Amino acid sequence: MSTRRYVLANAVILFIVAASLYDVLRDEEHWPFSQYPMFNRVTSSRDLKWLRLYGVTQDGQESALIRYSDVFPFDQSRLSKALGSIAARPGAVAELRAALANCLERHERQRRMGLQPGPPLAGLRLYEVRWALDPRAANVDRPDSRRLLAEVSR
């Protein structure tokens, strides 16, 4: 192997190792160098906590926004992670409300375009919901508890 190829191969290996270490030490995720947080923790808890958006109609009825089209362009896990990272910051209540207002505006725009079924939403509420895990998932539609984190209205 030539010296040039040897140096280049070692530089590539060093870059991959350094980028991976950076993500591990900073607890960040930059694919493909991430520590894959979905798989790097072991939990013994029988509870699941999750952030979930609920739409509020004019008459005060709440419904969970769980379909992909409800939170487009996000999906449930990415939206929950994004809102959770905002909520975890000290004093970020205004930022969290701004994010919810953006979600509400986007949802209503899609509804007016005919891409979203259902009645107009008067507001959104973000809850931290908790389930005691059931092997048969019999309680999937009924969280055991909900804690209101933020809400916005039109």
Burial of 35 (0-12, 13-18, 19+ CB in 10 A): middle
Residue 141's pLDDT is what?
A: 82
Residue 72 corresponds to which tokens in the numbers above?
């487009």
Decide: 52 and 114 in contact? Cβ < 8 Å. Answer: no
Q: What is residue 39's predicted lDDT score, i.e. its pLDDT?
A: 63
Q: Decide if 151 contacts 100 (C-beta within 8 A).
A: yes
Residue 16, token pair as written in the block:
């991959």
Taking 50 as the pLDDT cut, the residues of the chain under it are none
In this predicted structure, what is the pLDDT of residue 28? 74
* Confidence (pLDDT) at 130: 92
Q: What is the pLDDT of residue 33?
A: 67
* DSSP letters for 118-149: SPPEEEEEEEEEEEE--TT-TTTTS-SEEEEE
With beta carbons less than 8 A apart as the criterion, state whether 132 and 144 touch: yes
Q: Measured between alpha carbons, how far is residue 80 from residues 11, 50, 92, 116, 120 in Å?
A: 38, 7, 16, 20, 23
Instruction: State the DSSP string of 31-82.
Output: TTSS--TTTS-----SEEEEEEEEEEETT--EEE--SGGGSTTS-HHHHHHH
Amino acid symbol at 148: L
